[in-house]
A and B are shown apart, each in its own frame.
Chain A
């Protein structure tokens, strides 16, 4: 049996959080282990669940994507990070890359692209 990729979804917008979870959950081999609405919650849940992949909204309350990324790097080192960013968040991109974010998913890309990125991150984590 193929082991499932365990995914954490963090986005402060409830509609987007739910939609993103559903998209990932609908895919074979992907499973959403937790959803977070802010940076602190994302870090806590990552530490508790040690997911394979975390999809982090760049702009979130209580510290934003940078804080969440930095915390997850230390509290769940083997979690692979994807930034889910708005069209114009490119300013934060440099710092997030430096903190270890693998890829940037611009909100509005197709579900297929999102899923492909999550799988790529998961495979990278296995290596």
Chain B
């Protein structure tokens, strides 16, 4: 086999490329299997025809085939991508290389033409381009986030609508500027912009919160994520930067913290007022009643026997009044939470006061942490009110109290086995006020309160208070 035969066989057999020759005028002189597969013509159908038969009519009309041959003659070769025709009239996207072929004498002998069908690749590229375009539009259109790119030196190379909205720069104003323009002067002086980029390179990404500057010099509280972008070779190509304006959230957080501060003041004021009333009742009303009782006893001793019964009843009334006033003082008295903590104080109250009403009690507590003081006091006072209600209205024999940590707060249940009631707000005005007071206390503390009851099967008071963080976010 001669070497020429080997080449011919090779060319003939290649299936993925159409490889054929044109004579100097552009007529098709050879044809291979690949050409037949790609273009649909058999060899005998196409040999001798001008190669413009392979071009769409509009290209032919524009003189493209002849131009490509001229260019090949001039430059030695020409490469082109474009639509070509199959025999059946359908089109495919072709990568075409035309090479001018000369003999040893330098005479043009014709052209070699290699054509590949890259329709599939083109479709993939198109899909990628469209996907990138859609993604670009998405990024571009997002208003809630400033999303932009920096080059490896930290200069802005892309900008979106969100960035414009948040920072106030238009794209043409900011492109090419260094990202340090977004930082307050004190941060720039501290080298923060550079440090942030360095950390992003080292760790891949860096997230931070802090004040940033708008174009007009005003500040906003920003959450910033900087991601270092590396290419396949591990070379730093730049940074992606996503900025959110958290000024409103921060304001909301501050409002919340202000609310907690108010709660704390309110609870403190309530406790002070209760203490004052407790002392007043203790030092004044009870003493007076005790003195009255003693004088009544003296008087009774001096009266004839027929008055003894009435005097006895009077003394009994006085004694009962003193007892009730002492109960009131006990309820109003400052809690021992600051000394012993919430659970021991509740346990003490159940044991000293509630058990004294003839109720069996149980307390189960599963709290991960001691709630902060105002919350603990509010929890205690609501329990106290609920227990007082059980004592006064439920006709119960036992009451169970459970406390559990839940949803970043404390969930409390006070369950009795008493008579229950039909309506969530019964007609008894005192009871109604008691329920209202509990609910108000819970809601002021940012929580909720509910009562569930069925006549004959007891009542459950349930409430939840959030555990306010003791420390503010930096």
Within A1-42, the residues touching B (CB, 8 Å) are 13, 15-16, 18-20, 22-23, 26
Within B236-295, the residues touching A (CB, 8 Å) are 282-283, 286-288, 290-295
The DSSP consensus for interface residues of chain B is: helix
B157 at the interface (CB under 8 A from A): no
| CA gap between A15 and B287 in the complex, in Å | 8
List, in ascending order, chain A residues with CB within 8 A of B286's CB: 86-87, 107
- B330 is contacted by which of A13, A16, A88 (Cβ under 8 Å)? A88
**Quick check: A87 and B326 within 8 Å, CB to CB?**
yes
* A22-B298, A86-B282 as given contacts; A108 in contact with B293, CB under 8 Å: yes
Instruction: Give the interface size class of chain B.
Output: 20 to 34
List, in ascending order, chain A residues with CB within 8 A of B330's CB: 88
List, in ascending order, chain A residues with CB within 8 A of B301's CB: 26
- Closest A residue to B284 using CB positions: A13
**Quick check: B287 and A13 within 8 Å, CB to CB?**
yes
B333 at the interface (CB under 8 A from A): yes
**Quick check: A18 and B291 within 8 Å, CB to CB?**
yes
- A16 is contacted by which of B291, B319, B326, B329 (Cβ under 8 Å)? B291
* A88-B333, A108-B322 as given contacts; A13 in contact with B283, CB under 8 Å: yes
B297 at the interface (CB under 8 A from A): yes
List, in ascending order, chain A residues with CB within 8 A of B297's CB: 23, 110-112
Closest beta carbon of chain B to A50's beta carbon, Å: 26
| CA gap between A69 and B329 in the complex, in Å | 27
List, in ascending order, chain A residues with CB within 8 A of B290's CB: 16, 19, 107-108
- Closest A residue to B293 using CB positions: A108
| CA gap between A15 and B292 in the complex, in Å | 8
Closest beta carbon of chain B to A2's beta carbon, Å: 21
Closest beta carbon of chain A to B4's beta carbon, Å: 120
List, in ascending order, chain A residues with CB within 8 A of B287's CB: 13, 15-16, 107
Chain B 293-305 near chain A by CB (<8 Å), digits 1 or 0: 1110110010000
Q: Which residues of A contact B (CB under 8 A)?
A: 13, 15-16, 18-20, 22-23, 26, 59, 86-88, 107-108, 110-112, 114
Return 12 A-B CB contacts under 8 Å, by A number: A13-B283, A16-B287, A19-B291, A19-B294, A22-B295, A23-B294, A26-B301, A107-B286, A108-B290, A108-B293, A111-B294, A114-B294
Q: Which residues of B contact A (CB under 8 A)?
A: 282-283, 286-288, 290-295, 297-298, 301, 319, 322, 326, 329-330, 333
9 further A-B contacts with Cβ under 8 Å, apart from A112-B297, A114-B294, are A15-B291, A16-B291, A19-B290, A20-B294, A26-B298, A26-B301, A86-B282, A86-B286, A107-B286
Nearest first, the 8 A-B pairs at minimum CB distance are: A15-B291, A19-B294, A19-B291, A111-B297, A13-B287, A16-B291, A107-B290, A87-B326
